[in-house]
Structure 1
Amino acid sequence: ADVTLVVSPVERELLARDAPGARVEILSNVHEVHGCRRGFAARADLVFVGGFQHPPNVDAIEWFVREVFPAVRAQLPQVKLHVIGSRVPASIQALADETVVVHGFVEDIMPFMDGCRVSVAPLRYGAGVKGKVNMAMSCGLPVVATPIAVEGMHVSAGREVMVAAEATDFADAIVRVYRDEALWQALSTHGLANVEHHFSFAAARSAIERLLA
């Protein structure tokens, strides 16, 4: 092939080692930049998005609800977690209660992107660029994520996203963003700029023009 396309610098670095003579270029996820359409004070709760036919999403929610969410609730007792994604297995449905709302598939995700205060991406394994993180940032919704969830996404912890690997740190990061309007606004602004620069239609058009040149 004349060129191989990958979704992030991580995959390009891997192929550079395995096939050092090949031309490898990046063409990543493409998202419309919706912008932040509701402010900090008008939002509440947490949201997770991910189809459950994908095993990392099942593991992520099971870990989050059991290991992270109790510590969040201890400091934010009114907060609910909204779980969105198709093909919900019995193990995830069993986690539902008055604080964990398992919606399953929804026709329109935007009310959650515009109405929740924090998006969580507690993935413990997986690969590629995570659309759930792109989607939230494209709506100006701050994200708290594990390192694997933001792999290859051109982000800095504390600027575009909050990053934590351990359950206690993850819970603390959520509480901090949830309470701190200035931090929330900074993450929202920088997240939108990240999507505009790396994952927008304009960014994809530039990548394709470079390929075809």
Structure 2
Amino acid sequence: MNQPATKVLVIGYVWPEPRSSAAGGHMMQILETFLTQGWDITFSSPATIGEHKADLPALGITECAIELNNSSFDDFIRELAPDIVLFDRFMMEEQFGWRVEKHCPAALRVLETSDLQSLRDARQQRLKDDLKAQPGNDDFSALFAPGLEDEFQRMADTVLAKREIAAIYRCDISLMISDVEIRLLTEHFKVPAALLHWCPLMLEPPTEAFAPFDERAHFLSIGNFRHAPNWDAVLWMKNSVWPLIRQQLPGAQLHIYGAYTPPKATALHNAAQGFHVMNWAEDALQVMTAARICLAPLRFGAGIKGKLADAMLCGTPNITTPVGAEAMSDEQPWPGAIAHSATALADAAVSLYQDRERWTQAQEHGRQLLARRYDQNIHGPALVECLEQCRNDLAAHRRNNFTGGMLRHHAHKSTQYMSQWIEAKNRNL
């Protein structure tokens, strides 16, 4: 007799847009991994539908819009009775976790962290402090220098870190895209390693020949403009990095692509300076393949960078910072260059742009890196094995996570009372 298909409910922070953000791409990789197992997937979200949403029904995934603070979700999840509930970002666990606990306590609770938002926020604040103290600073070596203990000290007293790590404890497994963030959580926040699973981007390593040096031209930068690290990188390029590149390469052109381009971004467009704000790319890999260099001068952020993985998939060497390269590589050569200042970034970009031999070598380093760290044939099965093993031993797993059970009990009770109060108040309006 055939076993019924495993039922998975995903509660999305947004509807996935794989061509707009790395987070959307990673979510689609997770969903596709589940589909290969024959699992029955329902994707729900309280968010409005974006213009670049993936066609989930075409893949056989059921869609369902849900609302915050609405008891209709109780009937929905009770009827669905999922075996696995995947929360997309910790805010969804905060909003819906207590309802899952109430109606489906035996469901495996999985958190897709995407990246540690409390880490990203702490780094953004450090950048603000640095710019305030040194308004004309060009060299950010000190900004990139702090180790994990320093990151912990900056994060530990923040409300955001307490909320995010509490959600990690309340879940059975949290998917971590960055092994550096796993070290931060286990070594400094003392989160049990059994609650975390390394799940980086899951990609099919390229096997065909890349477009060569002579068939490429110009610089490219890409990223969702709604993502604060991307917007900061655009401003740094406009004000500091790109003028230095143009001094050495007067005819150089930079094409900047990003979803949801705001007026403040289009206002930066200046063809005379070779600074082109191009809006959204219909095919990000196509424009990446046409470029000779990918620029990613990120001064803060967390997780790993989808734009740099895309660059490697297309054989496009990149110029980035330590934050951009964090958790992307091992001890092997980087497929491009990593620099700490606007001057060093510009010099590295110009040098690599003109040096065919170094450029071709960097291209090959990217291919090797993809095969070592991001092979979907390795990480997909590892993810399924992790979830199945946890489901099969869920009682013991939860018993060993007493702190998580305690947090679920208290947080969900208080959230339940608050939600009931809000619903009662809305009925009386």
Shift of 1:155: 4.6
Shift of 1:69: 0.6
Distance, in Å, in 2 between the alignment partners of 1:93 and 1:131 is 23
Query: Would the alpha carbon gap of residues 52 and 91 (structure 1) be closer, same or farther in structure 2, given more than 3 Å must change?
Result: same
1:159 touches 1:186 (CA, 8 Å); kept in 2? no
Matched, 1:126 2:301: yes
Identity %: 32
Unpaired stretches in structure 2, ≥5 consecutive residues: 1-170, 390-429
Unpaired stretches in structure 1, ≥5 consecutive residues: none
Residue matched to 2:256: 83
Distance, in Å, in 2 between the alignment partners of 1:102 and 1:81 is 8
Residue matched to 1:21: 192
**Paired amino acid for 1:45:** H
Structure 2 residue matching 1:4: 3-state secondary structure = strand
The aligned length equals 213
Residue matched to 2:237: 64
Matched, 1:181 2:356: yes
**Paired amino acid for 2:366:** G
Distance, in Å, in 2 between the alignment partners of 1:158 and 1:100 is 30
Structure with the higher helix share, 1 or 2: 2
The structure with the larger Rg is 2
Matched, 1:103 2:275: no
The one of the two structures with greater contact order (alpha-carbon pairs below 8 A, sep at least 6) is 1
Choose from 8, 11, 33 the match for 2:205. 33
Residue matched to 1:9: 179
**1:83-110 CA deviation, whole Å, 9 max, x = no partner?**
0011112222111111111111121123
Residue matched to 2:341: 166
1:46 touches 1:117 (CA, 8 Å); kept in 2? yes
Distance, in Å, in 2 between the alignment partners of 1:77 and 1:47 is 16
**Paired amino acid for 2:281:** V
Structure 1 residue matching 2:261: 3-state secondary structure = coil
Distance, in Å, in 1 between the alignment partners of 2:300 and 2:181 is 15
**1:150-177 CA deviation, whole Å, 9 max, x = no partner?**
1111255853231012000000010111
**Paired amino acid for 2:322:** P
Shift of 1:209: 5.7
**Paired amino acid for 2:376:** F
Distance, in Å, in 2 between the alignment partners of 1:90 and 1:126 is 23
Matched, 1:54 2:227: yes
Residue matched to 1:140: 315
1:197 touches 1:203 (CA, 8 Å); kept in 2? no
Residue matched to 2:326: 151
Residue matched to 1:73: 246
Distance, in Å, in 1 between the alignment partners of 2:331 and 2:344 is 16
Comparing 163-172 with 93-102, which one deviates more in the overlay?
A: 93-102
Shift of 1:119: 0.2
Shift of 1:32: 3.4
Shift of 1:2: 4.7
Distance, in Å, in 2 between the alignment partners of 1:2 and 1:130 is 26
Distance, in Å, in 2 between the alignment partners of 1:49 and 1:36 is 23
Shift of 1:43: 0.7
Matched, 1:192 2:363: no
Comparing 25-34 with 9-18, which one deviates more in the overlay?
A: 25-34
Structure 2 residue matching 1:73: 3-state secondary structure = helix
2:292 touches 2:316 (CA, 8 Å); kept in 1? yes
Structure 1 residue matching 2:259: 3-state secondary structure = coil
> Scaled by the length of structure 2, what TM-score is found?
0.47
Q: What RMSD in Å do the two structures reach over aligned CA positions?
A: 1.9
> Scaled by the length of structure 1, what TM-score is found?
0.92
2:336 touches 2:359 (CA, 8 Å); kept in 1? no
1:48 touches 1:84 (CA, 8 Å); kept in 2? yes
**1:108-132 CA deviation, whole Å, 9 max, x = no partner?**
1233121110001111111101101
Structure 2 residue matching 1:58: 3-state secondary structure = helix
Runs of 4+ in 1 over 4 A off after TM superposition: 155-158
**1:44-66 CA deviation, whole Å, 9 max, x = no partner?**
10011100011111110111111
**Paired amino acid for 2:311:** A
